[in-house]
Copies of this chain bind each other. A is one copy, B any other.
């Protein structure tokens, strides 16, 4: 077997499109955005990296570097214009253009996402939901129609949907992803705890709540049960 060689090669080849922004910086931008919107609501019009950093627990240099990726220009002594900064982040993230999405699996989590109107402020509009449960099909949940899964690929194609959200049981997730790919969907937001196998050009983001849980669990366990020495003695 040469699995490992293939893999590492593959991973390297996957990287030709330079990220142009580090993933951690990308993840911090929405946090700046939340804070800036708060400031704007309070009528504050200018802000410095130091203050943003103080609020979010980051050092000013890091904030400055992150913001630079959006193309914003600040002025010495006064900092940045709050309005410009919000605009710069939204434009950079593509939040000004709406992404229409399909959601599959109208259970506990799917219903919660369907009902979250705030997503629309961040460029996400879930336009329809899909399920295989005949008792759910035909219902309207949070003003969205629940359709049979079989229609997904066809509708996605005809409506030019680019984003799919998976909130079905883990066992079904791969099959659903396959349908999405068939329908021309480009990006998948996956809440099921499985690794999806999709073509290279498909963007997949896993929202792995169990990873978070693992971190919390480990830290709590460590605090309460292990005073020192975590690994086996040397």
Contact = CB atoms under 8 A, between A and B. Distances in A.
Interface of A: 1, 3-4, 7-8, 11, 20-21, 23, 26-31, 33-35, 50-51, 53-60, 69, 71, 92-95, 97, 99, 108-109, 111-113, 115-116, 119, 122-124, 162-163, 170, 186-187, 189, 193-195, 203, 205, 207-225, 230-232
A57 B218 contact: no
A162 B4 contact: no
B124 A116 contact: no
Give the 8 A-B residue pairs with the shortest CB-CB distance, closest first: A94-B221, A108-B112, A27-B211, A112-B112, A30-B210, A108-B115, A3-B54, A94-B217
Given A4-B53, A111-B112, A193 B97 contact: no
Nearest to A124: B213
A154 to B, nearest CB: 21
